[in-house]
Every structure is written in structure tokens, then in C-alpha cells.
Amino acid sequence: MRKQPNLLRKSACLRMGRHLFAAATLMLAALAGMTGEAGAQVVTLVNGDPITNFDIEQRTRLIQISAHKNASRQEVLDELIDEKLKIQLLRRFAIESIDADVENALTNMARRARLTSQQFLDQLARANVLPGTLKSRIKADIVWSQIIRGKYQSSFQFSDRDIMAKLESRADATKISGTDYTLRPILFIVPSGSPPAMVAARAKEAEALRARFSGCQEGILLARTLRDVAVRAPVTRSTADLPPQLRDVLEKTEIGKLSTPEVTAQGVEIYALCGKKPSTAENAPGRREVREEMASAQFQAHSKRYLKELRSQAMIEHR
């Protein structure tokens, strides 16, 4: 009978130990939850869409690796608010194949960095940046560009007189010479909605054709034998009509060779350079540069005005 109190004490200790273990477990879970909640804490609501601490941390890292600068928390928050407002326009304006355009833009960014899409995403991961952080920014830029240029389309039309007047006022106008290129566009078709792996595979096929391309006459015949490849009719493009990136590529491409592949909405496109000659003065590259400068100024003005309008109409709640 004397042993009964000892057994009772042991039983009580066991119950107390189980309670303490359960309490410790709950405390650890609570601490883990608090850590997760800190990142997921909503900082601002933009028309009901949340911006969290985690979003701010992610965007801060993206700015550091892309712009090589340290943005303040308020600058990052303002950028995310503007981004929300831009993406929310998809509820009012229908933009087809927006997700495919985002993936194509991401693929082109990787190619310009001489990386595959996966290698590019791996670099982001090493910087602790999720793919969705970059994709969100790309989507906002694409949506905004299309809407501004569509909404204010007439203001982006410039007369030749205005362009020439602007060009002649430039100090280096007489030093600019241009080139007319005869091109054969070659498209490696990629069906809409295809996975990035298919785009990468078609890009490899385009690179393989570049290695085998030995002149426009024989090379075009070779390209026509390939699967799902469209060879377009010859086109003449002057330096003035080419974007700076393509202009630089063609300047470095020999006659009878292919340009580097570029991902487009239809697939992977390359150009066979079949001829080139000096442009007339009217086709000088300065004309395009002036046109782009004027269009950029209009874009920035309309963008600033429309974004201010969206902000004034939005319900932005800081917490």
C-alpha cells in the first residue's frame, strides 16, 4: 500500500510531461507561423489586391540584381502599387496570349544573357528571387505598353516633316549613313501555348541551321526541307526601319549567313542576309532614332498622366 503514492506521483509526472511536450510543440508551431505570417503580412491593398512584406522583399532583390541599385522601401512599394494597377487593367481590356508573350519575353531575356531559360531561372533562384516576381513585372510592362499605345494611338503618328526637322537639328545628322538589307525571314513555327521546352528545342534547330547555312540559294532550299519551317518572301529593310538590336545583329552578319535566332509570338525567327547596299539619305538610321525619341516622349507623357488618373480612382489602403 505504501507504493501507491509513488505510482500516483509517477503517473502525474508522465501526464505533466505530456502536457509540457504538447505545449512546447504548440509554441514551436506558433513561432513558425509567426515567421511565415511576417512575410505574408499585408502592407497595402490596391483595389482589394494585397501587397505583402514578402512581395516587397522579392521586388527589392529583383531591383538589386537587375538595376544594380538599392531602392528604398517606399520606392519599391510605389512600383508594386503601379504594377497592380497596370495588371488590373486586364479586367477591363482583353489582351490575347498575354501569358505566352510573358514567356517569350523571359526566353529572349535568357538568350540575350546567353543562357537557357532554365539557367536564367536558376540564376534568379540563387539570388532568392522567385520566377513569378519577374514575370509579374514583365506582364505589367506588356499590358501597359499595349494599352497606352492603343489608347493614344493617334499621338504616336509623326509626319515626315516633323521627323526631318528634328533630325536636321541634331549635330551628328550629317555623319549618319544607312544600309538597305535584303532579307529572307525564316520562321521555326511553335504552336501557341507550347511549353518553354519546345521553344528551346526549336531554337536549337535554328542554331543548327545557322551552322549548315552556306548561302541564300542553297541555304533557303535546305530550310524548306525542315519540319514546320516557313520561309517567307524576300523583304528589303533599311537601317532606319530596324530596331537598334536587330540593326547591330545585321551589321555583324555576313552576306549569305543567318542572324541569331529570336523568339517571337509565332515561334523562333531568323533572317538570311542575302544582300545589302547603302541607303538613300531619306532612309538614314537617324530617322528611326528620332521617331523613337519622339514616340518615347509621347509614351512617357501619356503614361504619367494615365497612371496618375488610375491612382486617383483606385482604393489604396495602407496597413
Q: What are 212-230's pLDDT values in tens digits?
A: 998 999 999 999 999 999 9
Look at residue 61 in the predicted model and tell me its pLDDT. 96
For position 284, what pLDDT does the model report? 61
Which 8-state DSSP code applies to residue 156?
G
**Three cell numbers at 246?**
536587330
Whole-model pTM?
0.60
Q: Which residue has the cell 477591363?
A: 92
Q: Output the pLDDT for position 116.
A: 87
What's the rounded mean pLDDT across residues 242-269?
Answer: 88
Whole-angstrom CA distances from 301 to 26, 62, 152, 233, 306 are 56, 26, 11, 39, 9
Rg, the chain, Cα only:
29
Looking at residue 280, its pLDDT comes to 66
User: What is the per-residue DSSP string for 232-280?
Assistant: PPPEEEEGGGS-HHHHHHHHTSPTT-BPPPEE-SSEEEEEEEEEEEEPP
Q: Residue 4: is its pLDDT beyond 50?
A: no
What is the distance between the alpha carbons of residues 6 and 9, in angstroms, rounded to a whole number? 5
What pLDDT shows up at residue 19? Answer: 46
In this predicted structure, which of 35-44, 63-72, 185-194, 295-304 has the lowest mean pLDDT?
35-44
What is the pLDDT at residue 9? Answer: 45
- pLDDT of amino acid 237: 86
Choose from 18-32, 95-109, 232-246 the range with maximum mean pLDDT: 95-109
Does residue 143 contact residue 132 with C-beta atoms inside 8 Å? no
161-184: per-residue pLDDT in tens?
A: 887 777 777 655 544 567 889 999
Q: What percent of the chain has pLDDT over 90?
A: 57
How high is the pLDDT of residue 176? 54
Average the pLDDT over 223-241 and give the result: 90
37 pLDDT band, cuts 50/70/90, is low
Q: What is the pLDDT of residues 74-123, one digit of tens each?
A: 999 999 999 999 999 999 998 888 999 999 999 999 988 888 888 999 99
Residue 50 has pLDDT above 90, yes or no: yes
The pLDDT of residue 246: 81
First to last CA, the chain: 65
pLDDT at 152: 93
The pLDDT of residue 216:
94
Pair 142, 89: CB distance under 8 Å: no
Determine the angle formed by the axes of helices 196-212 and 98-112, rounding to 10 degrees: 50
User: Higher confidence at residue 17 or residue 115?
Assistant: 115
Identity at 149, one-letter amino acid code: R
The pLDDT, as a whole number, for residue 28 is: 39
- CB 249, CB 260: distance < 8 Å: yes
Confidence of residue 306 (pLDDT cuts 50, 70, 90): very high
Residue-averaged pLDDT of the chain: 84
Q: What's the Cα-to-Cα distance from 41 to each of 51, 69, 157, 204, rounded to whole Å?
A: 8, 25, 46, 44
At 62 the pLDDT is: 96
Decide: 43 and 56 in contact? Cβ < 8 Å.
yes
